[in-house]
Amino acid sequence: MQTFKITELWDCMRSGDVNALKELYNSFYNNLFSANFSICTNRDMVKDSIHEAFISIWVNRDKLPPVTSVGGYISTCVRRKVIDALKKESQLETAFLRMDDEHELSYEEVIIAFQEQEAIRKTLKEALSYLTNKQKEVIRLRFFENKNYEEIAQLVGCEQRTIYNCIYEAVKRLRHHFASKHIS
């Protein structure tokens, strides 16, 4: 399909045209499935992730930016959904394994683990307080909302190179702070 038509469909979908969304879905579905099946061999998980990505796109359509590479944007959305689904599946497996092992932990071990986690949380909160507001924002977007550098640059209104530098400096400050606290 022509890039112009795809971009036009994207803009129509952003304006609330559900038929444009359907056409985008039908245009990209097979390629999205093939590309993400190589990441995750669970067919249902890939299908669900594609559906969830398009639902998310539709729900947030009024907040979406105009993009020149619609296929790349949608592909990134789906890939993130697949990765999130894989993480959730892994966390569930880990939780079940922990449930099996938890009965073996002593009360003291649980308290020590909790105290260690609290100390790390406190140190992280303290370290974040040394960052500028802009650094906090790009760190949040990059690591907590899983945005890529291009998306962050668009959201913040800066050049992509500026975002790279800002994240680099922020991570450097965080590492320095953690090193001074002897936390790796």
- Whichever domain contains 100, its CATH number is 1.10.1740
CATH of the domain at 129: 1.10.10.10
pLDDT at 100 over 60: no
pLDDT exceeds cutoff 80 at 33: yes
The answer on pLDDT for 175 being more than 80 is yes
pLDDT score of 102: 47
Domain identity same for 20 and 96: yes
- Asked if 126 and 146 sit in the same domain, the reply is yes
Question: How far is 103 from 82, CA to CA, in rounded Å?
Answer: 33
149 secondary structure, DSSP code: H
Same domain, 17 and 56: yes
C-alpha distances in Å from residue 73, one per residue of 66, 130, 159, 162: 10, 33, 18, 21
Same domain assignment for residues 85 and 117: no
Q: How far is CA 72 from the centre of its chain?
A: 15
95 and 148 part of one domain: no
Residue 143 lies in domain: 105-184
Whole-number pLDDT of residue 37:
81
Q: How many CB atoms are closer than 10 A to CB 41?
A: 8
Q: How far is the C-alpha of 151 from the C-alpha of 148, rounded, in Å?
A: 5
Amino acid at 80: R
Residue 160 CB contacts under 8 Å (≥ 6 apart), including other chains: 149, 150, 153
* 91 and 71, same domain (yes or no): yes
Report the number of distinct structural domains present in the chain.
2
Whether residues 144 and 131 share a domain: the answer is yes
Tally of CA atoms within 13 A in the half-sphere of 96 that contains its CB: 5
Distance CA 154, CA 152 (A): 5
Last residue of a domain, one of 60, 81, 104: 104
Mean pLDDT of all residues belonging to the chain: 84
pLDDT in tens, 124-151: 788 888 899 999 899 888 888 888 999 9
Tell me, yes or no, whether 93 and 17 share the same domain. yes
**Residue the block writes with tokens 């650094």:** 135
pLDDT of residue 8: 92
Same domain for 12 and 99, yes or no, is yes
pLDDT at 91 over 80: no
Average pLDDT over residues 102-121: 70
Long-range CB pairs of 106-112 (<8 Å, 24+ gap) are none
Choosing from 76, 104, 132, the residue where a domain stops is 104
User: Are 1 and 86 part of one and the same domain?
Assistant: yes
Q: Kindly state whether residues 109 and 43 are assigned to the same domain.
A: no
> Exposure of 10 by Cβ count < 10 A (0-12 exposed, 13-18 middle, 19+ buried)?
buried
Conformational region of residue 146, where left means phi above 0, alpha means psi within -120 to 50, and beta covers everything else: left
